[in-house]
Amino acid sequence: MGRISDRFDTLGAEGRRAFVAYIMGGDPDYDQSLALMKGLPSAGVDVVELGMPFTDPMADGPTIQLAGQRALEGGQTLEKTLQMVRAFREDDDTTPIVMMGYYNPIYSRGVDRFLKDAVEAGIDGLIIVDLPPEEDDELCLPAKAAGIDFIRLATPTTDAARLPAVLTNTSGFVYYVSVTGITGGAAAQASEVGPEVARIREQGGLPVVVGFGIRTPEAAEEIAGVADGCVVGSAIVAENATGKPVEEVLAFVKSLADGAHRA
């Protein structure tokens, strides 16, 4: 049992849905992104998704692409993103942290070295969007052996033939992408999401959290109501990009978390 399983068990016992917040490490700079990250739990965030900036984020829309560019231009590296986790853990040893991004920075660092550093820093899970199940030997299986959950994405195009492969070796939770396309796209629809969540949960036996296309407290409540939780990323990243103080960004995050927790 790790922090992710513990958190979902606790939420389940309380009859509450999870609110997961994504931020880009190093956007717009290290200090602000760290301050934002440290404030997320008090704003109602149950699981933190921390983006690893990368030069070719093929699954991301313009909002997160630009956030990654800002972070890289500001000198953010994988090492600095790991350092953010270490700094967060100085004050918070219970909130789960999932690092989300692409395989190239991890490959460049070396899988063994990365996993050792990730465990020591306090990372609980990985979402690596460009590593399919056919490549499990690359990172998924070594991560699980190191005690880090490997969280898969399922999409509206993940049919009955493909779903077993997606669920194999997945742990922590399943991230259901509610719409086809890139992040920050069309709005999610609960009527379409609900049956898919039920299908995935039945086959996988894991919590299913829904992301993409959630921008408002009302949408968070609606989508969380048909799942085990929801993820908001682009809307938070966009709010943080306006130059507002961290406290104002966290107030926006809290409104989203309150919506999810009303479900």
Both tokens assigned to 90: 């100085």
Give the pLDDT of residue 59. Answer: 79
pLDDT tens, position by position, 48-84? 999 999 998 887 889 999 999 999 999 999 999 999 9
Give the pLDDT of residue 9. Answer: 97
| Domain residue ranges of the chain, discontinuous segments joined by + | 3-262
Confirm whether pTM is higher than 0.75.
yes
Please name which of 129, 121, 169 lies closest in space to residue 153, comparing C-alpha atoms. Answer: 129
Give the pLDDT of residue 186. Answer: 53
User: Which active-site residues does the annotation give?
Assistant: 49, 60
Per-residue pLDDT tens, the chain, 263 aa: give them: 699 999 999 999 999 999 999 999 999 999 999 999 999 999 999 999 999 999 988 878 899 999 999 999 999 999 999 999 999 999 999 999 999 999 999 999 999 999 999 999 999 999 999 999 999 999 999 999 999 999 999 998 899 999 999 999 999 999 999 875 445 445 667 788 999 999 999 999 999 999 998 999 999 999 999 999 999 999 999 999 999 999 999 999 999 999 999 99
Give the pLDDT of residue 27. Answer: 97
Q: In this structure, which CATH number among 3.20.20.70, 3.30.1370.30, 3.90.1010.10, 3.40.50.1000 belongs to the domain 3-262?
A: 3.20.20.70
Residues 6+ apart with CB under 8 A from 97: 3, 47, 48, 50, 85, 88, 122, 123, 124, 125
